[in-house]
Structure 1
Amino acid sequence: MAETGLANEADVGDLREAMHGRLLAPGEPGYDEARRVWNATADRRPALIASCADVTDVQTALGFAVARGLPVAVRGGGHSVAGFSTCDDGMVIDLGGMRAVSVDPERRVARAGGGATGADVDRATQEHGLATTLGVVSTTGIAGLTLGGGIGWLMRKHGLACDNLLAVELVTADGRVLRASADEHPDLFWALKGGGGNFGVATSFEYRLHPVGPTVYGGGVMFDRGRRRAVLEAYRELTREAPDDLTTYTAMTDGPDGTPVAAVAACYAGDPAEGARLLDPLKAAVGEPLLDGLGPLTYLQQQSRMDEAYPRGAYHYWRSCFLDDLTDAVIDVLVDRASDVSAPPALELIVEHLGGAITAGDGAFAHRGASHDVLIAANWTDPADEAHCVAWARDTAAALAPHSRGGYVNYEPDAGGAHVPAAFGDRLARLAAVKAAYDPHNVFSLNQNVAPAT
């Protein structure tokens, strides 16, 4: 058996025997594949990877790591842009084997394991004509997505993913299994709705479901890059009047052939004819599109249509900023910074329309009053492009900083806590108090970390 360097072989052997799932150490078959995560910039070598089969495995692996002072990384879908799903010389608690989803169509409730992806939940719920807000890339794990807030196509009509939580099963740093809900550990439940992975290992989630589909009006429309200002201005007018049933994004990105374009993507969770009526004025205002892919499609198609654009194994560095308004000054910055958008590498500026039901939610998500969020996404496949891509994203974030009210927890990179105050805003003190109650020794520090109150 391979030596971990952080625990003796006998102890590791005992852990292996105690687990129902699989334990991997460096040098063992399957380790190199198991250590890889979605973002290739997070190329790390854990001392141990515990592929957990059940909650007992999570308790066992976590207890082993805590007793030996090992860093702990929790992996749901492994999609963390910041690389929080892995670590060097520590323990990765991998929930990928805990993906089961059950649906109670009468109560409109879904229960999903902490390793489930959006696709797992969508497939199970759509069998009953139901859905809840999840992300826009269906391979994303539900755990990190939900704990950080959960931006997705249904958010303006039904709130963020965290707003649809009914309960979370959590293994805390001291090994307890808690159920957090409005009636059980309500302080913890509040914190889990936007406070990230600061409080424990979330082993299952219960979501409120809503009638959705099977058909929605969605997809996207692309225009020549020279019309990006016109697209942004038309998009602003659309979002100022949009009903809550309509969620839209606009993007300065690249088209299917790699040509830079200005695009608008949408999901209208109602009558497709009404969706077309709402989007047609934007197309009329901008002019003839290069590609018009707006139309009726199944909700499952809508949820997975971006998957190919974000494959596992590429490199990513993202930044973000929430906006109070999509002002002329912001549009000036976006147009200017979009002049560098080209492929490869894939540099993208994506504006997401918020508001609607998001404003009525509770929990630790701090930016409910924002009108939009800007995702500054640098994506590349050639390691030689890293310096250029990271510099572009940072410079773009700096240009937008005067207009920003903070960044989105799930998009921001790890920077030694630099993004934490703005990400959590006026929720930070309350989050620190909850952290002190449930993780006073900061075992769960690989996240946008909230230090325990003292």
Structure 2
Amino acid sequence: MSNSAVKNIDSGSNKPALPQHFKGIVAIPPDGKTYNIERWAPLVARRAAYVIYPTSAEDISAAILFARSQNLPIAIAGGRHDCGGASSVEGGVVIDMRNMNAVRVDKENKVGYLQGGITIHPAVQELYKYGLTTTLGMCGSVGVVGFVVGGGLGFRIGEYGLGCDKVVSATMVLANGDIVNVDEKENSDLLWGIKGGGSNFGVIAELGMKLHEPWPEVCTIEYIYTPEQLPALVDELSAWLQVQTPAEFLYLMLRLGPQDGKPYLILGGMSTFGAEDGKRLWGRFLRIGPVMSKTAQIPYNAYSAQLDAFIATPGNKIACGAHFNNFDYETVKKACDMMVAVTLKAPMSVIIWEFYYYDLVPTVPMEATAFPQRTKDKTALVALIGFADVWLLEARRNMDAIQAVVSSSSTGSARTSIGYLNYADILGSENETDANARRAYESNYPRLQELKRKYDPEMVFNKWFCIRLA
């Protein structure tokens, strides 16, 4: 950058010189509220030298070029939900996308263009104004881009497929600062790569996604059971799985009750049913006799706020995923017992078994996108929450043990899987290894290496399942 084409964001400070066209905000410690390095998982927050809040692809380019000119590492922050610290960097530059949160819609062609900093709940709200939606996740505060580049497992997958399969285009900023269009005609190899290949190739300024018409309303349930009712729950869930329809999604969660501190099983979910139809069609679960049951009819655009209370749980957090294709009482009970023991140290911890309708997922060939997990194996989330800082290593040991049990009675890829990529345990440098990246991307790894060599040979973007050069 030439001296004639730069400006100081705050004259007299040690803030960086950036091009005159830069419209964003630069924060350094201690800039109060402007300098924000807080994360959903507090232990992964790192003291960045600069937090840069871009407002455009040009701003992102300027931030990347500045960081590289100073030999500073880069992290990209979207929803800031990753428990492994991918959105944080010690002494480097965080490109925090939160101010790039606009949505525009091509209603005729049913394509939505979502800026790189928007999170799921606002995206659902904005798209709904046009009478449209796409495959997005259950957690409203997760970043849309992170959700998509990690696969995009959401409750509409039974009808529309994975979030990454909805991507039709992107505007990206590469490691050299170039701003490029990505679609089937331009840089189509990058289009393949961002469909599940993580943040390995650049910063996504805007994402184009195919849209569909939403349901007018959603039936939601929350049925709460005691641990003694687990055998009946496993039996009924196993029977329901044989008749599950594409529009149905259920999950089973183990957690402590907030009032009495006792373990409970929570069956939650949603579908297109009306509330009365929901009670009838999911009546098998009511007949078990939950200690509390709630069935509600809500507007479609409210679904992504259903887990807000859980997401707002304070305290330290680590998490990992597991796959399973066998859901049996002995395995589920063992995992629950282990988690109950863990709650003595991490009282807000949970296991969640997720029952999406997966039939569309394997219809897309594994080699068609970077996302390799194209089976009907179901997902589980193991999250340890609320433990003391000093218990981190022990928390991870317990988490890994529970993860292994969840998959222990399953067969094939489910038993050996690293878990759904967006849930995977990538904590700092400990698990950010070539071996884990290879394990994550399986037979797609060599092609991802080719893309890395082409678009980021110096591994500027290296914070989440970083692809190593061959």
Aligned equivalents of 1:145, 1:351: Cα separation in 2: 19
- Residue 416 of structure 1 aligns with an amino acid whose one-letter code is E
Which of 105, 108, 114 pairs up with 1:106?
A: 108
Which residue in the other structure is 1:212 paired with? 214
- Residue 373 of structure 2 aligns with an amino acid whose one-letter code is H
1:316 aligns with 2:317: yes
Query: Normalising to structure 1: TM-score of the pair?
Result: 0.90
1:356 aligns with 2:346: no
Aligned equivalents of 1:71, 1:182: Cα separation in 2: 31
- Residue 360 of structure 2 aligns with an amino acid whose one-letter code is A
Aligned equivalents of 2:87, 2:340: Cα separation in 1: 33
Which residue in the other structure is 2:377 paired with? 371
> Structure 1 stretch 403-412 or stretch 215-224: which is displaced more?
403-412
> In the alignment, is the contact (CA less than 8 A) between 1:37 and 1:313 conserved in 2?
no
> Structure 1 stretch 268-277 or stretch 19-28: which is displaced more?
268-277
- Residue 315 of structure 1 aligns with an amino acid whose one-letter code is N
Partner deviation per Cα, 1:80-107 (whole Å, 9 max, x = no partner): 2211111101111111110001223332
Deviation at 1:54, TM superposition (A): 1.1
1:407 aligns with 2:424: no
Unaligned runs of 5+ in 1: 1-8
1:442 aligns with 2:459: yes
Deviation at 1:157, TM superposition (A): 1.8
Aligned equivalents of 2:176, 2:76: Cα separation in 1: 15
Q: 1:171 to 1:348 in 2, by over 3 A?
A: same
- Residue 466 of structure 2 aligns with an amino acid whose one-letter code is N
Which residue in the other structure is 1:203 paired with? 205
Which of 395, 403, 415 pairs up with 2:401?
A: 395
Q: Secondary structure at the match of 1:427?
A: helix
Q: Secondary structure at the match of 2:17?
A: helix
Which residue in the other structure is 1:347 paired with? 349
Q: Secondary structure at the match of 1:410?
A: helix
Q: 1:29 to 1:207 in 2, by over 3 A?
A: same
Aligned equivalents of 1:290, 1:385: Cα separation in 2: 33
Which residue in the other structure is 2:172 paired with? 170
Aligned length: 442
Aligned equivalents of 1:193, 1:379: Cα separation in 2: 30
Which of 53, 56, 59 pairs up with 1:54?
A: 56
Q: 1:241 to 1:37 in 2, by over 3 A?
A: same
In angstroms, what is the RMSD of aligned CA positions? 2.4
Aligned equivalents of 1:411, 1:300: Cα separation in 2: 24
Aligned equivalents of 2:393, 2:283: Cα separation in 1: 40
Deviation at 1:16, TM superposition (A): 7.7
> Structure 1 stretch 256-265 or stretch 424-433: which is displaced more?
256-265
Which residue in the other structure is 2:224 paired with? 222
Aligned equivalents of 2:160, 2:273: Cα separation in 1: 12
> Structure 1 stretch 181-190 or stretch 107-116: which is displaced more?
181-190
Deviation at 1:127, TM superposition (A): 1.8
> Structure 1 stretch 378-387 or stretch 390-399: which is displaced more?
378-387
> In the alignment, is the contact (CA less than 8 A) between 1:347 and 1:389 conserved in 2?
no
Aligned equivalents of 1:167, 1:399: Cα separation in 2: 39
Partner deviation per Cα, 1:178-216 (whole Å, 9 max, x = no partner): 222233222211111111111110111111111113311
Alignment of structure 1 residues 38-117 onto 2, 5 Å = 38-117=40-119
- Residue 266 of structure 1 aligns with an amino acid whose one-letter code is G
**Identity across the alignment (%):** 24
1:266 aligns with 2:269: yes
> In the alignment, is the contact (CA less than 8 A) between 1:150 and 1:160 conserved in 2?
yes
Q: Secondary structure at the match of 1:30?
A: helix
1:157 aligns with 2:159: yes
Aligned equivalents of 1:341, 1:310: Cα separation in 2: 19
Partner deviation per Cα, 1:343-402 (whole Å, 9 max, x = no partner): 862121111124122222341222121321111111116546545533321221233454
Aligned equivalents of 1:173, 1:47: Cα separation in 2: 19
Q: 1:385 to 1:226 in 2, by over 3 A?
A: farther
Aligned equivalents of 1:397, 1:52: Cα separation in 2: 38
Q: 1:233 to 1:435 in 2, by over 3 A?
A: farther
Which of 19, 23, 44 pairs up with 1:20?
A: 23
Q: Secondary structure at the match of 1:227?
A: helix
Partner deviation per Cα, 1:151-185 (whole Å, 9 max, x = no partner): 22212221121111111211111111122223322
> In the alignment, is the contact (CA less than 8 A) between 2:323 and 2:378 conserved in 1?
yes
Q: 1:29 to 1:261 in 2, by over 3 A?
A: closer
- Residue 370 of structure 2 aligns with an amino acid whose one-letter code is A
Deviation at 1:413, TM superposition (A): 2.3
- Residue 450 of structure 1 aligns with an amino acid whose one-letter code is I
> In the alignment, is the contact (CA less than 8 A) between 1:115 and 1:142 conserved in 2?
yes
Q: Secondary structure at the match of 1:143?
A: helix
1:416 aligns with 2:432: yes
Aligned equivalents of 1:282, 1:183: Cα separation in 2: 49
Query: Normalising to structure 2: TM-score of the pair?
Result: 0.87
Deviation at 1:226, TM superposition (A): 1.9
Partner deviation per Cα, 1:34-71 (whole Å, 9 max, x = no partner): 11122101121111111111111100010111223211
Deviation at 1:273, TM superposition (A): 5.3
Q: Secondary structure at the match of 2:42?
A: coil
Aligned equivalents of 1:309, 1:450: Cα separation in 2: 33
> In the alignment, is the contact (CA less than 8 A) between 1:63 and 1:174 conserved in 2?
yes
Aligned equivalents of 1:312, 1:348: Cα separation in 2: 11
Partner deviation per Cα, 1:1-56 (whole Å, 9 max, x = no partner): xxxxxxxx998442286521111122334355x11122101121111111111111
Deviation at 1:277, TM superposition (A): 3.8
> In the alignment, is the contact (CA less than 8 A) between 2:324 and 2:406 conserved in 1?
no
